[in-house]
Amino acid sequence: MYKQSTMHKNQEAVDELGRRAYDIAQEIYPFCRSLTGEGVRQTLKALQRHIPLAIHEVPSGTTAYDWTVPLEWNVRDAYIKDAQGRRVIDFQRCNLHLVGYSVPFKGTLKREELLKHVHVHPTVPDAVPYRHSYYQDSWGFCATHRQREELLDEQYEVCVDTSLVPGHLTYGEVIVPGRTDAVMLVWTHTCHPSLANDNASGIGVAAVLAACLGAKSRHLTYRIVFGPATLGPLVWLSANEAVVPRIQHGIVLACAGDLGSMTYVRSRRGNAPVDRAMAHCLKQAGRPYVIRDFAPEGYDQRQFCSPGFDLAMGCVMRTPYGEYAQYHTSADDMTFITPAGLGDTMVTLLDVCDTLDNDRTYVNTNPYGEPHLGKRGLYQDAASLGMGWTLNYSDGRHSLLDIAERANMPFAAIAVGAERLRMSGLLREITRNN
Ligand code: ZN
């Protein structure tokens, strides 16, 4: 009964949340994001219209552990023109056509020379691949197989009107203050140009998540950070070393909007509360899902779970990167992600945040036999809210999450039951689990 009504209520919420995330993803999808530059600023400024986001600018040359913030990269224009002066490959039409971080170049090239700079996708002929050349002194274009094959003129005019000058790396952060300073960190990357699932979807979902978390009083303090992959976490960690010991839980969010089932990659610790909460919520939701062990690959858990930090951060995706044909190509567009997929990711994340936020340990104040629930008006809902489980296992050694796992019931039901038992004096809180 409890479950049915929750499912019905959730279904409406799923559609509404997914639509909000989709609208934000669509708004920021066209911008030419990269490791640095105006596209990232445009994206973060767009988010500021939805959430109270602080934008941080970190100067080129700033070091973060073994890394250094590079020169800022911006694009004014980029194209290849044929002998008739037609732009046969044009950055203005699709920003994936230019290899990210291409150095400036202007000139006329013979066909054979030009083709060395025109990359195609090895297996998806009709799509423009996504490439970048961070930390290399080179330029290039990306094209479909057909576009490359049609480059038959003797020579072409090439324009890569970019700038690489001292500037900034830009990231954004929303802090949703809780009653304690224990932190849950949510990280999503912002460095991909017009690609929808990787990564406009993560940006949309993280923004709506920040808005939802701020809508009610919370135990944990949430930090939702939007920054470039790899270097971004290192810059953030080095600027927030005082916060790091307070990070109790974390999620790296990516590929959040396709219609594949949810994938969770455990933290390096493997059995941290976030790993257990995620496994519990996915199981109780009753939809297909996959859980994988940590590996030093994939998204920014590579940095957060490096041995010096070893933070309790897992990675939430739907279909994992590299396991869908559209990955890192122009086919990863706004038709590949849906409000339904985004909404499902949103609901899962909110469920996990609520679980971690509300987990606590009680003791049963009446442990000799079962307390008489009928005379306290609790009998009616006792079974559906798992009160027998909560009373029995509230011995000071089992938290509500332990009990929900043991009872194989949704954490939310156990928590509602526990609150009613507490109100009637049958439970006393001893610790918060954060
Ligand atoms: Zn990517």
State the SS3 of 233-278: HHHHHHHCCCCHHHEEEEEEECCCCCCCCEEEECCCCCCCHHHHHH
Q: How far is the CA of 192 from the centre of ligand 1 (A)?
A: 7
Above 60 in pLDDT, residue 5? no
- pLDDT tens, residue by residue, 309-350: 999 999 999 999 999 999 999 999 999 999 999 999 999 999
> Which pairing describes strands 262-265 and 313-317: parallel, antiparallel, or unpaired?
antiparallel
Above 70 in pLDDT, residue 6? no
Cα-flanking dihedrals φ and ψ of residue 222, to 5°?
A: -105, 135
> Is residue 400 located within the same domain as residue 345?
no
- pLDDT, residue 12, reads 80
- pLDDT tens, residue by residue, 214-256: 998 999 999 999 999 999 999 999 999 999 999 999 999 999 9
> Is residue 219 located within the same domain as residue 341?
yes
Q: How far is the CA of 323 from the centre of ligand 1 (A)?
A: 12
Q: How far is the CA of 174 from the centre of ligand 1 (A)?
A: 23
> Is residue 97 located within the same domain as residue 128?
yes
- pLDDT tens, residue by residue, 55-100: 999 999 999 999 999 999 999 999 999 999 999 999 999 999 999 9
Above 70 in pLDDT, residue 8? no
Give the domain range for residue 133. Answer: 74-165
Q: How far is the CA of 130 from the centre of ligand 1 (A)?
A: 9
| CATH number of the domain to which 426 belongs | 1.10.10.10
- Final residue in a domain of this structure, among 357, 374, 398: 357
> Is residue 421 located within the same domain as residue 381?
yes
- pLDDT, residue 9, reads 54
Token pair of 403 as six digits: 């009990």
357 contacts 274 by C-beta, under 8 angstroms: no
Q: How many domains does the chain have?
A: 3
Instruction: In whole angstroms, give the CA distance from residue 75 to residue 64.
Output: 26
| CATH number of the domain to which 252 belongs | 3.40.630.10
Above 50 in pLDDT, residue 4? no
- Final residue in a domain of this structure, among 165, 191, 220: 165
197-219 in b/e form (b: 16+ CB < 10 A) is: bbbbbbbbbbbbbbbbbbeeebb
Angle between helices 273-285 and 339-358 (to 10 degrees): 130
- Final residue in a domain of this structure, among 165, 200, 229: 165
Q: How far is the CA of 229 from the centre of ligand 1 (A)?
A: 9
- pLDDT tens, residue by residue, 357-386: 999 999 999 999 999 999 999 999 999 999
- pLDDT, residue 7, reads 44
- pLDDT, residue 2, reads 34
> Is residue 182 located within the same domain as residue 268?
yes
Instruction: In whole angstroms, give the CA distance from residue 39 to residue 121.
Output: 24
> Is residue 111 located within the same domain as residue 206?
no
